[in-house]
Chains A and B, each alone.
Chain A
Amino acid sequence: MPAATAGGGEAPETSVFMYQAHKKIYARAVSGWFAGWRWGLVWATQLLFYGLPWLQWNDRQAILFDLGARRFYIFNLVLYPQDFIYLTGLLIVAAYSLFLFTAVAGRLWCGYACPQTVYTEIFMWVERKLEGDRAARMRLDAAPWGANKLLRKGGKQLVWITIGLWTGFTFVGYFTPIRSLAVAASTLGFGPWEWFWICFYGFATYGNAGWMREQVCKYMCPYARFQSAMFDKDTLIITYDEARGEPRGARGRKADPATAKLGHCVDCGLCVQVCPTGIDIRKGLQYECIGCAACIDVCNDVMDRMQYPQGLIRYDTQNGMAQKLNRSQLLKRALRPRVLVYASVLVLIVAALGTSLALRSPFKVDVVRDRGALARLVDDGWIENVYRLQLMNTTERVQHYRIRASGLEGLRTDIDATVIAVDPAEARWVPVAARVAPETAAAAGRGSHPIDFTVERIVDTPDDTARSVVERSTFVVPR
């Protein structure tokens, strides 16, 4: 960090207050190619977030995480807590995507898709509509309180709080059916936990996007710090072309920079004004930079007006800057081993996750041996073991099953002939007594023997296919 940040040398013995006051950042509105991308992602993510809970599927909410009943509905899928491995898979996919994007082009997540960025973008749009752009906002803040200021500031707060509450409401709508939640909203008849989460999530949205903004990225976000650790010299970052820009300086539109002994940077300061974290990109890569590319958009406008080529600030790599690489060379370097490894692992995990979901059984079985007694002698010297089978129906229709045991000669159960019905998305315990004849027991010998329980789905409707699940257990012949 250059020493130029020092505030000049006054008295040598000054004392500083260690808890720095928050300096408000008045980010200037920006439009352009990258801002367009960000707004596209704001629309995409928010339509998804606010819209999904309203979607119906199979006469129920398409996406509903029913924590009370421990069932998680995602379109056709009904997931049990036992399916949490899929969440693990999803998180690994998310992590590897982050690694991949960051290695290729820096903090893409931060700049375009992170909820903090997305909600800040929405909240800043509201702020701009009610208080005006940067200069107007600074004037308003400096002005004494009056009807105009009160109305604008109050209106902004009102809209912010509304968006926050709506976000909280939508969030809770993923866990409680949103349509009944909407009915409850009309009378404010939420349950205590619904109240808590709507207000908590709403307040977090309002506080983070309205007030905290870049403070979240600078001081709270762990991603922000470790993403920088995943950069290398071939990672695309937002860079200022110092060789082309310096020496910077103001000049007339008609002036020729060569004769004026100036670089292409006109030192207009717009790149600093649009920066949501309040840094000067011309000082090089800084940890505060969230990679939003607002400075690229605004600088390109200035370059156009000056009739200089675009890209004084651009996506480039450190190697690209130093070695003056062109686009195709940069692209070739993007396919370096690190990126290829991330990409192939990502593809493998996505494929594995997809295959596993597609081949998922429409029911699950757990076998639990009775613990009280290992085995018992019944009529005519037959040996009996008792088990409990839990049948979990992961479809939304009543399903019928038949249970058989195999692995020992003539192994029979007391429910060989019974058809077991399990209600939609329900789980049911079924006690099963399995027995073998004394001759079989004698032939098998004392101790524990592996057996299999085969649970077969009985085809009731043409939609169903015959499926069976085999679960292993043991059969004990007593000493």
Chain B
Amino acid sequence: MSDFIHSGWGWFVAGTTVLGLVFCLALLIIASRRKVMAQDNTTGHVWDEDLKEMNNPLPRWWMWLFVITVVFAAVYLAFYPGLGSFPGTLKWTSVGQYEAEQAKARDAMQSVYAKYVSMNAEQLGQDPAAMGIGQRLFLNNCAQCHGSDGRGSLGFPSLADNDWLGAGTHDYVKTVIAEGRVGVMPPMAAAVGSSEDVKNVAHYVLSLSGSAHNSVAAQLGKDKFAVCAACHGADGKGNAALGAPNLTDKIWLHGWGEQAIVNMVTQGKNNAMPAQGRLLTPEQVHVLGAYVLNLSQATRIAGN
């Protein structure tokens, strides 16, 4: 057993436990008989001149309760782990119990999710009960990063707009939930050119979405954008297949403005969404995916 660095400790614990039980019984027997010291129902001890200690014996049923606890301990130690490294005849473990309870909970949930598995995202979106479950799953598992309303924050994408970094289908959302997603923007400064060039590109990118920009710088940066176009497209509209975001909208996942864009181009970004597949069952992912998809759709029934 790995709990002990040496198997001797297992024997030490078992021995101490058994000796402790034997000692309890011995104490009970040793304390059972007393010589009467005085004939007036006192122990003969007197303190502070007149304070006598009465002989007030324990009721016998109390003694039997004591014996029963010792017997209980012996039976318990035979069935359950406790005697050092002896696992007990029932082979009970906390991990085993956890897994059994998990399996039981999954079985219980099966009936709840059964009817949802065959429904598509649109049908689920129309079902208030399914969306209620989806919302609770979202609040418990996703809201920590994406916000309670799913609108994200700096570095955590909003799920409530229609700007998907991938296909934006139910299957895509389910895959991202279950397997996670890594978004990579490589550092591109070397390819773009000097720091002045990078700045110009930044102003060009700002101009794509009609944001405030320096039009001269933007004009100068337009040529340099060719390196970016490999992923973001010549028109800057991005490429869902590569996970390259659209630069022509006003959605700025990693911050808005010249400085934010310059930082992104020079340093790149490695943004990861952790996989949730081990925490959620496929049925839960199915319903949760529909809820997430529903957040961005006009048909959403928020607050029904």
Residues on A close to B: CB < 8 A?
Answer: 1, 3, 5-9, 12-22, 212, 215, 219, 370-373, 376-377, 379, 384, 386-388, 414-415, 418-421, 429-433
Nearest B-chain residue to A430, judged by Cβ: B303
Nearest B-chain residue to A369, judged by Cβ: B148
Given A19-B63, A215-B61, A372-B156, does the pair A414, B39 have CB atoms closer than 8 Å?
A: no
Nearest B-chain residue to A433, judged by Cβ: B149
B21 within 8 A of A: no
Residues on B close to A: CB < 8 A?
Answer: 31-36, 39-41, 54-55, 57-63, 135-136, 139, 143-154, 156, 250, 256, 302-304
Docked-complex contact A372 and B57, CB < 8 angstroms: no
Docked-complex contact A13 and B35, CB < 8 angstroms: yes
A330 and B146 CA atoms in complex are apart in Å by 73
Given A388-B148, A432-B149, does the pair A22, B59 have CB atoms closer than 8 Å?
A: yes
Docked-complex contact B35 and A19, CB < 8 angstroms: no
Given A22-B60, A372-B156, A414-B149, does the pair A429, B139 have CB atoms closer than 8 Å?
A: yes
Q: Which of B57, B147, B148, B304 contacts A18 (CB 8 A)?
A: B57
Of B33, B34, B39, B58, most A-chain CB atoms within 10 Å: B39
Q: Which of A372, A414, A418, A430 contacts B144 (CB 8 A)?
A: A372
Residues on B with beta carbons closer than 8 Å to the beta carbon of A371 = 144
Docked-complex contact B58 and A18, CB < 8 angstroms: yes
Q: How far apart are B220's CB and chain A's nearest CB, in angstroms?
A: 28
Docked-complex contact B39 and A18, CB < 8 angstroms: no
Q: How far apart are B196's CB and chain A's nearest CB, in angstroms?
A: 28
Residues on A with beta carbons closer than 8 Å to the beta carbon of B31 = 18
Q: Which of B35, B58, B145, B146 contacts A14 (CB 8 A)?
A: B35
Nearest A-chain residue to B255, judged by Cβ: A377
Tally of A-B residue pairs with Cβ under 8 A? 112
Given A371-B144, A376-B153, does the pair A18, B40 have CB atoms closer than 8 Å?
A: no
Docked-complex contact A6 and B41, CB < 8 angstroms: yes
Given A13-B35, A14-B36, A20-B60, does the pair A418, B41 have CB atoms closer than 8 Å?
A: no
Docked-complex contact B34 and A15, CB < 8 angstroms: yes
Residues on B with beta carbons closer than 8 Å to the beta carbon of A431 = 139, 143, 147-150
Nearest A-chain residue to B128, judged by Cβ: A421
Docked-complex contact A16 and B59, CB < 8 angstroms: no
Q: Which of B35, B54, B149, B151 contacts A15 (CB 8 A)?
A: B35
Q: Which of B57, B156, B256 contacts A373 (CB 8 A)?
A: B156
Residues on B with beta carbons closer than 8 Å to the beta carbon of A370 = 143, 147-148
Residues on A with beta carbons closer than 8 Å to the beta carbon of B54 = 1
The 6 A-B pairs at the shortest CB distance, nearest first, are namely A373-B153, A431-B148, A20-B57, A19-B63, A418-B303, A431-B149
A140 and B260 CA atoms in complex are apart in Å by 98
Nearest A-chain residue to B252, judged by Cβ: A377
Q: Which of B34, B139, B256, B304 contacts A377 (CB 8 A)?
A: B256
Residues on A with beta carbons closer than 8 Å to the beta carbon of B143 = 370, 372, 388, 431
A7 and B144 CA atoms in complex are apart in Å by 77
Q: How far apart are A223's CB and chain B's nearest CB, in angstroms?
A: 19
A418 and B58 CA atoms in complex are apart in Å by 70
A373 and B253 CA atoms in complex are apart in Å by 13
Docked-complex contact B34 and A429, CB < 8 angstroms: no
Given A6-B39, A372-B144, A429-B135, does the pair A16, B149 have CB atoms closer than 8 Å?
A: no
